[in-house]
């Protein structure tokens, strides 16, 4: 019998990957609530209770609430950072949608926001 060792990511490692994704407007692939998901994290910080949250646009994978077509404002998600696992940066197009419905309630105190990095536009090659 062979033992498979899975690398466990710490919250600090996940935070660093999400930070990098927001700063570079780069999607991530992760497991969340037991489901594989593709996210574009737009804002990372804390909610009003001080818990680390990520405002993400989900464009692929699975979702318990269902996933609408890419570009739909219904695909915004407020993600608890500590519930993410198997996080990795993905070389894919940045996706977003208008009207993110819960930016202030999801992340009241932002550590980083993709809107603060307008010079980065992966769809234009930088």
DSSP code per residue over 18-84: HHHHHHHT--EEEEETTEEEEEEEEEEEE-TTS-EEEEEEEEEE--TT--PPTT-GGGEEEEEGGGE
Backbone torsions φ then ψ of 86, nearest 5 degrees: 50, 45
Q: Which domain holds residue 40?
A: 11-115
Q: Number of structural domains, the chain?
A: 1
Q: Does 2 reside within a domain?
A: no
Q: Specify whether the CB–CB gap between 105 and 43 falls below 8 A.
A: no
Q: Does 6 reside within a domain?
A: no
Reported as a single tens digit per residue, the pLDDT across 70-123 is: 888 899 999 999 999 999 999 999 999 887 655 568 999 999 999 886 654 444
124: pLDDT strictly greater than 50: no
Count of residues for the chain? 126
Tokens of 62: 């699975």
Q: Does 124 reside within a domain?
A: no
Reported as a single tens digit per residue, the pLDDT across 30-44 is: 999 999 999 999 999
- Report the 10 Å Cβ neighbour count for 68: 13
Q: Does 120 reside within a domain?
A: no
């Amino acid at each position: 019998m062979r033992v498979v060792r899975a690398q466990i990511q710490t919250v600090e490692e996940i935070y660093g990957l999400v930070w990098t994704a927001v700063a570079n407007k780069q999607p991530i692939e992760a497991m969340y609530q037991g489901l594989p998901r593709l996210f574009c994290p737009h804002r990372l910080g804390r909610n009003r209770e001080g818990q680390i949250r990520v405002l993400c646009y989900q464009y692929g994978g699975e979702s318990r609430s269902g996933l609408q077509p890419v570009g739909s404002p219904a695909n915004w998600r407020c993600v608890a950072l500590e519930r993410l696992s198997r996080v990795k940066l993905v070389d894919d197009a940045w996706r977003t949608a208008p009207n993110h419905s819960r930016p202030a309630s999801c992340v009241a105190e932002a550590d980083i926001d993709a809107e603060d990095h307008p010079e980065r536009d992966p769809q234009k090659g930088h």
